[in-house]
Structure formats: C-alpha cells, structure tokens
A and B are shown apart, each in its own frame.
Chain A
Amino acid sequence: MRHPLVILTITFCAGILVGREIRAPFLCLYGLSVLFLVLSILFSKKQMLCDIGLSILVFLLGMGLYVNQSIVPQNHISRLFLYNTNQLCLLEGYIEEDPQVTHTDTSFVMRVHLIGNARLRQKCCGKVLVHSKGKKELKYGDGISIRGYLVSPYLPSGPNSFNYRNYLLSQGIYYLVRVKNNSDITLLTRKKSFWVKRLSLVLKSKIERVFYEQVSYGAAGILDAMVLGEKRNISVMTKNSFVKSGTAHILVVSGFNVGIVVYIVLLSLKLLRLGRTICLCAAIPLVIVYSFMTGASTPVVRAAIMSIVLMGSALLKREPDIYNSLALAAFCILAVSPNQLFDIGFELSFVSVLSIVFLYPRMKALLRIDTIKIRFLRYLLDAFLVSLAAWFGTMGLIGYYFKIFSPVTVLANIVIVPLASLITLCGFSLLLAVYVFPCLAPFFARSNEFAVALLLHSNNLFIKIPGAFFYLR
C-alpha cells in the first residue's frame, strides 16, 4: 500500500462521523478498542487479519475520542446550572489565549478554576469567553479574577443562520462572560503559562509593533494577517471584498508562510556554514515557535506538521510522500480535537491542498504545460492550473458555508496569489531591514505599503467585473 496513513486517517474520520451520529457509551467503545488491539497483536503474523483489526481499532478510536471530548467532569462549568442565567458572578482563572484588544473592547478565553457569587464559592473547570468594555493590559497566562454576567451564547435566528453556540462549543467554550467595566478585572498573578507559547507571543507582539510603526494602519493590518495570521485589524469591508473575489485564503497564514520561515532559517544557518543535519534540526523547533506565533490555527498546524515530516524524511534519508504527510497532519489535529472535522477552516485547508496535490499534476500533464517553451507563459498557465485545482476542490464548501459563488476566483487568484506571496516576502524583508539595516527600513516600508495598496486596488477591480460573484439564496 502506497498511502497507508491516508487509509487510516479516512477510517479515523469515519469513526468521528459515526461517533457524532451514534452516541455510543464511551466504556463500550473503550472495551471494544482494547479487544481489537489484543486481536491485532494476536494476529500480528497474519497481515490481512492484523490490518483489518488495526483499521477497526482506528475507527473505534475516532468514535471514542469524539464521545470522550463531549464528556465533561462533574465540576465543569456547564454542569453548574445555578449560574446558567444572566446573573452577576465572580470567576477566577487564567487567560488561555492572547487577548484580543480593540479600541473599544477586550476579549479573551479564560480557563476558570473558581466560580462564585456574593455568598458561595466553589471549585470548577472549563473555559469561558470574556468580553470587557474598554482596553485592559492583559497577557496570555495571566491569573485573573473577574466580576461579570455569565450568559449563554445566542442561538441562530434561522435554520440557515450561523450557529454561534455550536461554534463556541466546538472550541470547548460553554459560556460568555460580559464585564461592564474593565476595573472588574483584577490581575492576580503573571506568567502561569507554557513558556514556548509565551516566548512566541512576545516575538509576535514585537513583530506587530514593527509593522504598525513602519507602515499605515490599513497596510499593517494586512501584513499582520499575511505574516502572523492576525486578522483583528482588517476592516470587515476589506474581508468581504476578498470573500467576494474568492481570495480570502490569502489572509490566512498557510503552508507558504511556513515554507518561507523554513527557507529563511535554513539559509541563515547555511550562511554560518553549519551542516545540513544541524540546519534541519534547528528549523524544526523554529517552525513550532512560528506556529504558536500565528495562533496555531489549523492551516498553520497542517503546514507545520507537513514541513516537519518533510524535514524529518530528509534527516532520515527517506522518500517523503505528500499524501501521507497530509494525512498525518489531519490525524494529529483530529486526535487532539475531533470536532475540527466539522470546522470550515479545517475542511477548506485540507480540501484545497488535497485538490491541488491531486488535480494540478494531472491537469498539467493533460495540457502538456512542460512542452511550452515560453517561460512566462508556462508560469502563467501553472498559476492558472493551481488556482483552478483549488477552486474545483473548494467551490462546493464555499457555496455551502458562505452562500456565495465567485466565477472571478480563478482569474483573481492568478493576480492576487502572486501579489500576496510578494507581500508576505516583503513583510519578512521589512523585519530583516528593521533589525539589520535600520537606515533602509523606511524604503522597505514604502515597498510594503505600495504592494498592499496594489493588492487592494486589484481586488477591488476584480469584484467590479460584471458577474464576478453572486450570492446563493
């Protein structure tokens, strides 16, 4: 079998899907898993029987993991019915994600360990999403105490509306906490956090500061999204215009960014004349740090795992297989969070990569692109085919989730994707300029600003083409 991990991952996904539909008791699934593990060991010399046993085991693991993640402990916040109405309560815990601070609000995910009101206090666990009016200087890992109103996330207004409650549930968040005044948030301790993530977030804030100091606010927001995956400062209008042209994927950190990081690290270490093995070993932890910097979103984790597999195979002198590394990435993400299978980000990320990997070489061979002698034309057709392959793969999902169909996507991607790649590279070069040649930084900033302006102008032109997009209602 050429792609064993693909088969196992598909079986695992099937297990998650079945686990979602049939609410089997966890202990029963666990018992069956142990049984099939024992059978696989017993029949380990008979390949066929062992493979069947392993496949069933992986299927049951998928089911079991899905069922297990929906089981919460006795003292979980979702079980404390006392607080499930809109009432004032006191919560203690620590900040689990980097807080999102805007001009008017501060919001963050908090892991709670104590809940109470004026009379009672009790230990609990679980996550809540806190919204507070006003700016508050908070960091990932801060231990805090807050006073606010515990409310359930709103339900969808119609059958086709976005289900915010389910979206938060998929992230393990059961309640929202509304804090009326940021003086109701008290800082208790600092630095109760994973040091790699803390270091990554410090680096991230330094890089963000460079962008916001060097270029205009609008351009910095785009650079922030393309280099660090942080979209909070992109206006809704800008996001909508990219959705209309079917190029919103450029605002997400993807495999390309991870590739650039690997390239920069390998090249820098190569300049120091270090050996290939040392270079590869150093690149792997830096890719992990970069994943944390960008919020460890699904596309980044996928790209990071795939690049680690590729670098690992180079270290071990083994032939890498793109399908197997993609399947491994999916398996790792789903093993940690089986709910990701129903997340649009996960689906789009994997479907687009899969369709490019599968369709692009076939289309290229069919049209005999390699026989074209004009290099520029060959490059243009290549870009067109990659864009077409990704569009074929994702148009069904985009139509289903966003209710939009954008025929201009293929054309727009030919221009927008190379421009976005250029901006990402320019963003990294601006960082290099600021720290290595500060006197040249304003000129690098000028180029960045221009490239972002060009991107926005081009995108606006594409969506103005008649019939560029239409809503499916």
Chain B
Amino acid sequence: MFSFTRQERQVLLFLSIVALAGIGISFCVKINTPLEKAVSVHEELTKLDLNLASVEDLVLNKVATIKLAQSIIDYRNENGDFCSLEDLKKVKGIGDHRYERMKEGVYVK
C-alpha cells in the first residue's frame, strides 16, 4: 500500500516502538506511582548516599580528599546521620564553594 523502502519502514517501526513504549510507561507510572523510581534516573543511581559512604567511597568518587572524607565520617559518627545536604556545611573545612561542588556527588535520603 505504502511505497516505503525497507530502510524507511525500519525507521518508522523504530519510532513507533519508542513512542508506544513511552506511552506505556507513562500509563504504568500513573496507575502505580512507586514505579516512577524504577523507570527514571534518580539520585540513588548516580550519587553516593552520604549516610552510607565510606572514606574510600568519598575519595574514589572525588567527593572529598582523604582528610576531608575522614572529617565527614567523624562528624557522622559523632552527630548521627546527616538529615540534609546542608548539614555538610557544619563539617570543619567545608565552605560554600566546596559544598556546592560536593553536593554534585552525594545525596541524603
């Protein structure tokens, strides 16, 4: 019926699959909100949990230097888990500029 070439058909089919998958996922998320976490890229996938991270994690992921990472862990041991990222500013050696950099790599649940 349509005079599409094989390549054109493949492209149209691919675009239809992508669009249909998107519509399907949107519908699933609407009826089951917790699914949103599984189908989207959230912080837990790309950042470190500040309340679970070790000194090695913080250093390897370039969040902090060894000395600073140790200060963060010491603060956590003394004061309990971080309630928000802002709490990082209470750690000795973390100013506004460093905080802005660090918050790119960590999150607090």
Contacts and interface: CB of A to CB of B under 8 A. Distances in A.
A174 to B, nearest CB: 25
Interface stretch (A32-40, A215-223, A292-300): A215-223
B77 interface: no
Contacts of B11: 267
B59 to A, nearest CB: 11
Contacts of A447: 18-19, 21-22, 25
Select the residue from A270, A271, A446 with max chain B CB neighbours within 10 A.
Answer: A446
A269 to B, nearest CB: 12
Interface string B75-94: 00000000000000000000
Given A267-B8, A270-B5, A460 B22 contact: no
A62 B15 CA distance: 48
A460 B39 contact: no
Contacts of B18: 426, 429, 443-444, 447
Interface in B51-71: 60-63
B1 interface: no
A102 B104 CA distance: 10
B31 interface: no
Interface string A444-458: 111101101100110
Contacts of B101: 103-104
A104 B100 contact: yes
A235 interface: yes
Query: Is chain B's interface secondary structure helix, strand, loop, or mixed overall?
Result: helix
Nearest to A460: B45
Contacts of B45: 218, 238, 453, 456-457, 460
A433 B19 CA distance: 9
A464 B97 CA distance: 34
B19 A444 contact: yes
Contacts of A218: 41-43, 45-46
Interface string A111-130: 00000000000000000000
Nearest to B62: A236
A219 B101 CA distance: 20
B6 to A, nearest CB: 11
B54 to A, nearest CB: 13
B38 A442 contact: no
Interface residues of B, number: 32
A445 B41 CA distance: 12
Contacts of B62: 236
A237 interface: yes
Given A449-B39, A449-B40, A238 B5 contact: no
A240 to B, nearest CB: 6
Interface in A400-451: 425-426, 429, 432-433, 440, 442-447, 449-450
Contact of B41 (A102, A267, A452): A452
B73 interface: no
Nearest to A453: B41
Contact of B104 (A235, A240, A460): A235
Interface string B13-26: 01100110111011
Contacts of B7: 267, 270
A133 B97 contact: yes
B41 to A, nearest CB: 4
A237 B104 CA distance: 10
Contacts of B48: 237
Nearest to A436: B15
A237 B45 CA distance: 9
A85 to B, nearest CB: 25
A450 B39 contact: yes
Given A236-B62, A236-B105, A270-B5, A425 B41 contact: no
A44 B67 CA distance: 68
A429 B10 CA distance: 13
Contacts of B46: 218, 221, 234-235, 237-238, 456
A164 B105 CA distance: 23
Contacts of A444: 18-19, 22
A449 B19 contact: no
A236 B40 CA distance: 19
21 contacts: A103-B101, A104-B97, A133-B97, A216-B42, A219-B41, A235-B46, A236-B105, A270-B7, A432-B15, A440-B19, A443-B23, A444-B18, A445-B22, A446-B25, A447-B25, A449-B41, A450-B22, A453-B38, A453-B40, A453-B41, A456-B46
Interface of A: 102-104, 133, 215-216, 218-219, 221-222, 234-238, 240, 267, 270-271, 425-426, 429, 432-433, 440, 442-447, 449-450, 452-453, 456-457, 460
Interface of B: 5, 7-8, 11, 14-15, 18-19, 21-23, 25-26, 38-43, 45-48, 60-63, 97, 100-101, 104-105
Top 6 closest A-B pairs, CB basis?
Answer: A443-B22, A218-B41, A446-B22, A447-B22, A219-B41, A218-B46
